[in-house]
Structure 1
């Protein structure tokens, strides 16, 4: 409804007694809602979302028995929402309530259970407290329940399992505790269950086998869940899971070794970082046919990443609802299950869906993996983010990894790697983040505009025998050695004198060339070059994950 409207809503609109729909969302309207407008007797759809309105929502609005939708989300409204919900619970036809991203206080009244026609309820990003009432079970038509980013306490009522039409549940970023009621498995139409950033504990014992959705998303990161094989058994009860995020919990023990891959054949994103898992990563985890995003970082996993791992199976498509992918799993918890964020170099970097068709992410950092880096990892030709840091990998960096041309972030720091940086790395033109320090690499850094653009921090500390820019160490090729290996030498007084004499000639020549170039440039100005990746950045509305139909 964006028409670039500004100013205040005219009270004269209340004179339109036949007005049934008021749709003025996504403008710059401000001030309070005129009571005359709220009291329009024929209103059925009331949508003032994404403006700058403030004050209270007039109670006169709730006297209209024809009212079906109230959408005042993303404004500056305030006050106790409890009374508003109690008044709306008397309306027989209301099916949509969206009051998210305001400054409302209060709690959910038990009378909300009277809304048997309610399908959408979004009160996220407010300051609500109290519990989720058991009477929510009486909202038999409820499909979307979004209460995230509030101050709710208590547990999820077991009666929620009686909401048989529930599809989307987001209770993330509250103070909810207890366990996840097994009864939620009775919600057979469930598509998204996001409970991250709470105080849930215990073991996940939900049987999802009765859920019939073709794509199922589970987010339980940043809680206090415990257990090992029980977690995987609960997930494996339904083959339609596409995204599972369980970072920052207390999952312990070993990952089951014997597992039927077909039970997780649709799984695309698996986030298990920041837990207490130990032992080896079983072969089946590398063979999941749809897996694209795997985070096992910051556990106690050990052993080799075997060369027989068929990394080519880590291919497929990101689910249509995943707009961005998390660089660090603990960033996930503040957002909706399909509103992930990707963080690169501590800057939020959001990319549109069209650029994520073959996005790949692999993070097994901060474990105890040993042995060589398997060359077969080079088969992940569409990999964008690869983090193998803080392990005990030995041997050389496989040359095949230099053929992952889409690689943007590569971290192998804090390992026991030796040998040269493969010449093939000169072709990684997309590389934006590189960390190789704290190894024993040697020889020349391959020459390329990309590699020479990194700071010395990308290669240091350690790697005392690396040379070439950007390091302040020259490479001298041995005359008695027909190979391409090189020995680094530090600048001493003799080499500096020789270098300065050569530099004087070079500077004089370059100065002459610059003078000629400047005169040519003034006569023939060059067009500005726009970086190819600039089109990737796109901002997504933080509150836009769920919108009422208009």
Structure 2
């Protein structure tokens, strides 16, 4: 028997559940049930219950801590988006999907969780969990496909995988305090599509050895201690399916590796086959930000990414003229090159970008007239701020003015904060709308409004929920 009482405005657990011996599926999600989970509920139909959803309530604790669930056949449990405190509850070994994110759980992960021999998806993210990630958790890689531990307080090294067979598709351990190098055993995981190690204290060189993972689409290493040159994989296999990469801010040295742009064929997808791109639904977690900070000049190979819709190279040290080959990006909607050292005139070729909605070249060293045709008539002063050598609409300075000022240097952070009318604190790249595609590469700060960022993150969340069902 299945009982669905989700979103029914309940404020407590229905007591008639105590008499339901044939109950197999129970949904009490998104009600107003608050406080401690009653002890009698933990004994409801312990022999037959297969599915339990208590998410989206105001539950605070269980009668015991720690607690081991008694449901012997429970295959899926969702307790996310509550206010649960204490230790992570431990289900029986038969559990396949276990979601308990967005609570207030604390302490370390009990080694008992490593007994989940059938687990495929586990999400403990957005809690206050501490301690090290248990080494024994890596033994589950033979069944585990999705492991999300992000936004906790884990310390120590990321465990090496012990299993000879790895089923992992997604790993997200971002926003913790993890240290040490990346575990080289990840090269066993041929199914990996999503890797997020961002915002930790990892110290390592660029993991070119991950380039042999033929399914890897997302690689996020931002805000760590990665250092040195970004070198090629010895066997020449270099991330053939990569669609999102985030390496900033780390301590990489050398030039922007243009050879990678030539070999990232997944970013050159034809319009006739969009399903191979990341816009085709895959289970991505929202909230990550994507940017990339390096130095050097704009690689011409970017011009081959025909389906690019967002290009952000802001806040780097790019020099030289603004490259005309950007006009080849005919589907480009947002172009942000602010806070660099670009010089020369804005190429007239860029007026061919008829889909361009956002254009920002502020705080560079550009000179000469601003193009006055096509989309350029829609851009405001902030798009060109900090380039005293520019002239023409929408600036007040006319191009006939003989008193030319020297090109300006990028402004300080204080100048940006006081003069910019757009928000620069959101970094987003390569996002799929429910009705289409948004393809992008961000190597700096994405120029995108907070409202749009929230809407895109919500689309990701909806896609994740659909796939869980």
Task: Tell me the TM-score range normalised by the shorter chain.
Answer: 0.7 to 0.9
Distance 1:320 1:162, change over 3 A: farther
Out of 308, 318, 323, the position equivalent to 1:393 is 318
- The two structures have a TM-score, normalised by structure 1, of 0.68
1:346-394 alpha-carbon deviations (Å, 9 max, x no partner): xxxxxxxxxxxxxxxx7313xxx33221111111122222222222221
Tell me the equivalent position of 1:467.
391
Tell me the equivalent position of 1:402.
327
Q: CA deviation at 1:121?
A: 0.6
2:234 is the alignment partner of 1:288: no
- The two structures have a TM-score, normalised by structure 2, of 0.79
SS in 2 for 1:371: coil
Tell me the equivalent position of 2:284.
338
Q: CA deviation at 1:338?
A: 2.6
Cα distance in 2 for residues equivalent to 1:149 and 1:162: 23
Cα distance in 1 for residues equivalent to 2:286 and 2:185: 23
Alpha-carbon contact 1:45-1:70 (below 8 Å) kept:
yes
Alpha-carbon contact 1:209-1:237 (below 8 Å) kept:
no
Cα distance in 2 for residues equivalent to 1:432 and 1:286: 36
SS in 2 for 1:56: coil
Cα distance in 1 for residues equivalent to 2:114 and 2:199: 26
Cα distance in 1 for residues equivalent to 2:462 and 2:323: 43
Distance 1:433 1:86, change over 3 A: same
Tell me the equivalent position of 1:239.
190
After TM superposition, the structure 1 = structure 2 runs for residues 95-494 of structure 1, keeping only pairs within 5 Å, are 95-107=50-62, 109=64, 112-133=68-89, 135-136=90-91, 139-187=92-140, 188-207=142-161, 210-213=164-167, 216-227=169-180, 230-231=181-182, 233-256=184-207, 259=209, 261-262=211-212, 264-284=213-233, 287-315=238-266, 316-318=276-278, 320-322=280-282, 338-340=284-286, 363-365=291-293, 369-461=294-386, 463-476=387-400
Alpha-carbon contact 2:148-2:173 (below 8 Å) kept:
yes
**216-225 vs 292-301, which deviates more?**
292-301
1:424-483 alpha-carbon deviations (Å, 9 max, x no partner): 22122333333212211122223334222122111211x22222322223335xxxxxxx
1:187-209 alpha-carbon deviations (Å, 9 max, x no partner): 22211111111001111123175
Tell me the equivalent position of 2:441.
none
SS in 2 for 1:363: coil
- 1 or 2 for the larger relative contact order (CA 8 Å, sep ≥6)? 2
SS in 2 for 1:466: strand
Structure 2's unaligned 5+ residue stretches are 267-275, 406-432, 437-454
Structure 1's unaligned 5+ residue stretches are 1-43, 323-336, 344-361, 477-486, 492-532
1:182-237 alpha-carbon deviations (Å, 9 max, x no partner): 22222222111111110011111231754543x6001111111112xx31524323
Between Structure 1 and Structure 2, how many residues are aligned? 410
Cα distance in 2 for residues equivalent to 1:286 and 1:469: 48
SS in 1 for 2:301: helix
SS in 2 for 1:235: helix
Tell me the equivalent position of 2:430.
none
Distance 1:294 1:339, change over 3 A: same
SS in 1 for 2:295: strand
SS in 2 for 1:281: coil
How large is the RMSD of aligned CA atoms in angstroms? 3.1
Distance 1:543 1:377, change over 3 A: closer
Please identify the structure whose Cα radius of gyration is greater.
1
Distance 1:71 1:147, change over 3 A: same
SS in 1 for 2:189: coil
Q: CA deviation at 1:261?
A: 2.6
